[in-house]
């Protein structure tokens, strides 16, 4: 198969031919149809987050099952599936208390002592799988608890972005925030995750949805997806504007960028008793805090990894939302590209002016 290989942080991905092993007892072999370019991948590519090299990145994907291991029970050959990096074991404390996104999933991940499932054709050298998915490749070999079958009528290029951006953004609204109809929301950062958050807030019946982003094009996309107001997140009085628009601050402030300044804006936008939810991947040494007055005002701060999803349940529901015309994935996708254009796609992401780029493998 062809795959985009990262040899060293800070260098372009290289398209190479790799071989993939046959499925083990609980593994699923998937022919990748589409994969979104996610900012989380860029963090690893640029070295902000460590990973063993060489490796194949990519995690926001959809495809068709080619083969399954002897013990697989959740999917079968021919199923259309979406992958998710928050694989779950199903029996730990987090899983059985409904917090599947927090599962460490030890048996769903590869131990360092196990042989690599990907090798380079040219010399047989091992290539690491990133986040146990490695979706920037024509095939994926993953644990069965890292994918879920979906309606076969769902277009796979749109289904791909559900695997991370939409699951994270919509999950923040439905699962982490448990938004009540009529409550007010500000979303700081209108990339793929932020736009999905805004769209989900509209579906959930939020009373006022404020989009905060420095890029005019992204603010325009946010308005199309359900924002009632849009402001420049870099304006010196951004927090004041939000407080004035909502007559006291928002019930929910959701940070979808991964910058300390964005988190500070989210906290500053809260009303008494409001909650700030941090979705973005910040540099690992950064901190986000509430002041003593914030605490006395009943304000709360929380993280929500992958939107605190329960992806075997949530993903099919999100597919249904799209099929019924409630979830607007078409606006979130800015372009469809071939695998060979992956580096150009990440350059566009760095520029920050458009939403999701999606690799379509049969393009």
Catalytic residue annotation = 38, 40, 43, 59, 164
CB 33 within 8 A of CB 156: yes
What the block records as the tokens of 185 is 């929301």
Whole-angstrom distance, CA of residue 103 vs CA of residue 126: 27
Question: Exposed (0-12), middle (13-18) or buried (19+): which is 106, by Cβ within 10 Å?
Answer: exposed
In DSSP notation, 9-57 reads TTS--EEEEEEEPPP-TTEEEEEEEEEE--HHHHHHHTTSS---SSEE-
Helices 216-224 and 192-204: crossing angle in degrees, nearest 10, is: 30
What the block records as the tokens of 305 is 């990894």
**What is the DSSP-derived secondary structure letter of residue 101?**
G
Q: What is the dihedral of CA 338, 38, 352, 158, to 10 degrees?
A: 60
CB 188 within 8 A of CB 215: no
β-strand 126-129 against 55-56: which pairing, if any?
parallel
The position carrying tokens 């990096």 is 85
CB 12 within 8 A of CB 345: no
β-strand 27-36 against 139-143: which pairing, if any?
antiparallel
Q: How many CA atoms lie within 13 A of 251 on its CB side?
A: 15
CB 172 within 8 A of CB 307: yes
Residues whose CB is less than 8 angstroms from the CB of residue 127 and which lie 6 or more positions away in sequence, other chains included: 3, 5, 18, 54, 55, 56, 116, 118, 119, 120
Residues whose CB is less than 8 angstroms from the CB of residue 244 and which lie 6 or more positions away in sequence, other chains included: none
């Amino acid at each position: 198969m062809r795959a985009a290989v990262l040899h060293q942080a800070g260098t372009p991905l290289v398209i190479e031919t790799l071989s993939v092993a046959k499925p083990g007892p609980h593994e699923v072999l998937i022919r990748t149809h589409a994969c979104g370019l996610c900012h989380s991948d860029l963090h690893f590519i640029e070295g902000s987050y460590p990973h063993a090299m060489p490796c194949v990145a990519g995690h926001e994907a959809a495809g068709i099952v080619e083969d399954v291991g002897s013990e697989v029970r959740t999917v079968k050959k021919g199923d259309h599936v979406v992958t998710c990096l928050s694989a779950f074991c199903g029996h730990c404390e987090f899983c059985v208390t409904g917090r599947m996104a927090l599962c460490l999933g030890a048996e769903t991940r590869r131990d360092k002592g196990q042989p690599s499932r990907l090798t380079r054709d040219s010399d047989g050298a091992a290539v690491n799988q990133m986040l146990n998915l490695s979706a920037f490749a024509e095939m994926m070999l993953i644990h069965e608890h890292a994918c879920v079958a979906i309606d076969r009528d769902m277009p796979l290029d749109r289904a791909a972005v559900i695997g991370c951006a939409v699951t994270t953004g919509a999950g923040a609204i439905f699962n982490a925030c448990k938004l009540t109809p009529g409550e007010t929301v500000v979303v700081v950062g209108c990339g793929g995750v932020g736009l999905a958050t805004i769209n989900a807030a509209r579906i959930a019946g939020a009373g006022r949805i404020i989009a905060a982003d420095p890029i005019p094009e992204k603010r325009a996309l946010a308005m199309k997806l359900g924002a009632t107001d849009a402001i420049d997140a870099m304006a010196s009085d951004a927090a004041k504007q939000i407080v004035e628009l909502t007559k006291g601050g928002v019930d929910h402030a959701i940070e979808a960028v991964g910058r300390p300044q964005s988190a500070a804006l989210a906290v500053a936008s809260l009303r008494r008793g409001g909650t700030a939810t941090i979705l973005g991947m910040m540099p690992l040494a950064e901190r986000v805090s509430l002041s003593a007055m914030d605490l006395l005002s009943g304000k709360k701060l929380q993280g929500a990894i992958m939107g605190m999803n329960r992806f075997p349940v949530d993903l099919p529901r999100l597919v249904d939302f799209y099929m019924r015309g409630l979830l607007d994935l078409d606006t979130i996708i800015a372009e469809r590209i071939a695998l060979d254009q992956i580096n150009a796609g990440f350059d566009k992401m760095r520029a920050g002016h458009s939403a999701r780029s999606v690799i379509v493998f049969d393009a």
